[in-house]
Structure formats: C-alpha cells, structure tokens
Amino acid sequence: MVEMTARRDFEYDNTYNRSLQARIYNSLDGTEYAGLHENDNIKLFSYSPPIPPRNGEEGDTRRLIIAGDDDTLVTTIATGLCQNPELNLHEMPFHVERAFSIDVTLGDRGALTTGSPIITRFNRDTADEHGIETEYDKTYWRPEHGTDLFFEQLNRNIQQKYRIAYDEQPPDPPYFTGYSFDREVVKPLRFDTEPVTFVGGEWTFEYEIESGDHRKVLNLALDAGLGELNALGFGFMNRSEDVNDGSDEIP
C-alpha cells in the first residue's frame, strides 16, 4: 500500500493509466527489474487506481495498492516511489508519504470484485468459431458476445499466468462458483499522439476454495490481476469485503 497526499486541488482523471505505468517502470531503473518493461511476456503484477477515485483537495489522502507474485518486485516499486515522492498522474499531483504492507488472506469462500476493468480479447479464429463478425485481428469482449466466450478467454489467461508463476499445470476450471457482470467500461487512453480506446468490464466473482491449487489460482488473481493488460492498470482485483463506499478508510 502506497499512501500519498494531494499537492493541490484536482479533478479525478480516469486516464491516469499511462502516467502511473511509466512511473512504476521508472522506479525500477537501476534495479534487477530495470528491463521488465521491455519484456513482452505476461507480467505478474497489478495495481489499483488512486483510492478513493474522486475529486480531491490539497492535503487529501489517496492510496495505491500494488500487488504481485514477486514480493521483492512489489517492494522495489514501492521503495522507488518513496525515494522520488513527487507523483504526477496527469493533472492529479501527489506527494508519496509512505508505503506499508497489508495482509490479504482469502477465506475458504467469498467473492472477488474488480478494482479496475477486466479486459479480454479474442482473435479472428476465435471470432469465426463463435460466429462473430469482426474487422479486427483482436476484438474486445463485450456483453453481446456472451459469457461463455468471456470465461473461455479469462480461464486461458489465468492458466497462462499460473504456468509462469508456479511452473506447473493449473487445475481445471471453473474457478468461480458464481458471477455478476456489473457494467461495461469504455476507456480512452492517449499513447504519444494517438488515442486508443480500451473496452473492459466490471465484475464480481464468487468462489469456494476446493484445493490448495485452487487457492493458488485465486491468490494469483489478487496478485497479478485478471484478464489482459494488468501492467497498464487493468484487471486489478479486490476481496469484496475490502470494498467500501469510497471513504478514506481502507480495511
């Protein structure tokens, strides 16, 4: 958990992703993780938006949660932010005050909910298999494509991360006992001079842990996020009991 204060009044800017991603990678300069951003493979870390995500006044407290399967990587990111405490997320200017660890232990049953939208995409072959017409090489999943396709892509991504993290075969899905799709989120971000629109969704997933390997799957969901583009700030997951009404108190 990284705690920071606003250096002046600001309006909440939901396009913070690129600025925060760049700052996270900059915090790794000169460390063993310096080349992480050059790696095209799946990255096993995720991070929250500034919490709570709303307009702020000078002196207000905001928090970032940084998670990952590698504790040393998470500590290195947090240390880098603290050592260079000026953090500008577009028009949201912060000063990093401190970083500390929080305990996030999964109960035997519960629910996970999105802290940032989950993105899944599918290629042309998958589109053809499901009878979906598309002009794109990669198409964002949207509600009209059906939840079967969503979970097909989600589970494939979970299994890829599991193999990277644990160097073993993952247990078979399903990994959740129930779900609710809360809403679609369309999010434009600017890359250099070109705007790019991302399409994701907010979800809640219920679970009941069946085995030690199943617990590892769910722990990885909390650490590395669900879906794609976690290193860009998508797919960050919370335990549902940790999600409050937006107040400054984070359990």
116 pLDDT more than 80: yes
246 compared with 29, residue with greater pLDDT: 29
Predicted confidence band of residue 37 (pLDDT cuts 50, 70, 90): confident
Rounded average pLDDT over 60-89? 97
91 pLDDT more than 70: yes
**pLDDT tens track for 186-227:** 999 988 778 899 999 999 999 999 999 999 999 999 999 999
| Residue 89 to residue 47: CA distance in whole angstroms | 14
Predicted confidence band of residue 244 (pLDDT cuts 50, 70, 90): low
The H-assigned helical ranges of 139-211 are 147-166
184 pLDDT more than 70: yes
H or E segment to which residue 67 belongs: strand 66-68
Residue 213 has what pLDDT?
Answer: 98
Which of 13-17, 34-38, 109-113, 193-197 has the lowest average pLDDT?
A: 193-197
71 pLDDT more than 60: yes
Rounded average pLDDT over 15-37? 94
Residue 243 has what pLDDT?
Answer: 84
Residue 46, classified by CB atoms within 10 Å of its CB into exposed (0-12), middle (13-18) or buried (19+), is buried
Give the angle subtended at the CA of 12 by the CAs of 6 and 16, to the nearest 5°: 90
Token pair of 203 as six digits: 């979800």
| Residue 1 to residue 182: CA distance in whole angstroms | 26
Q: Structural domains in the chain?
A: 2-99 (3.30.70.1890), 109-242 (3.30.70.1900)
15 pLDDT more than 60: yes
249 pLDDT more than 50: no
Residue 76 has what pLDDT?
Answer: 97
102 pLDDT more than 80: yes
DSSP annotation string for 37-65: GG--S---EEEPPSBS-S-B-TT-EEEE-
Q: Give the Å distances, CA to CA, from 116 to 47, 50, 136, 184.
A: 9, 11, 24, 11
Which residues neighbour 78 within 8 Å (Cβ) at sequence distance 6 or greater?
A: 2, 66, 99
**pLDDT tens track for 133-181:** 999 999 999 999 999 999 999 999 999 999 999 999 999 999 999 999 9
Mean pLDDT computed over every residue of the chain: 94
Residue 195 has what pLDDT?
Answer: 87
| Residue 20 to residue 2: CA distance in whole angstroms | 13
- The proportion of the chain whose per-residue pLDDT surpasses 90, expressed as a percent, equals 90
Q: Could you give the 3-state DSSP secondary structure of residue 85?
A: coil
Predicted confidence band of residue 248 (pLDDT cuts 50, 70, 90): very low
Which of 22-26, 129-133, 192-196 has the lowest average pLDDT?
A: 192-196
245 pLDDT more than 50: no
In the block, residue with structure tokens 């989600």: 154
With helix as H, strand as E and coil as C, how does 102-129 read? CCCCCCCEEEEEECCCEECEEEHHHHHH
Rounded average pLDDT over 76-103? 96
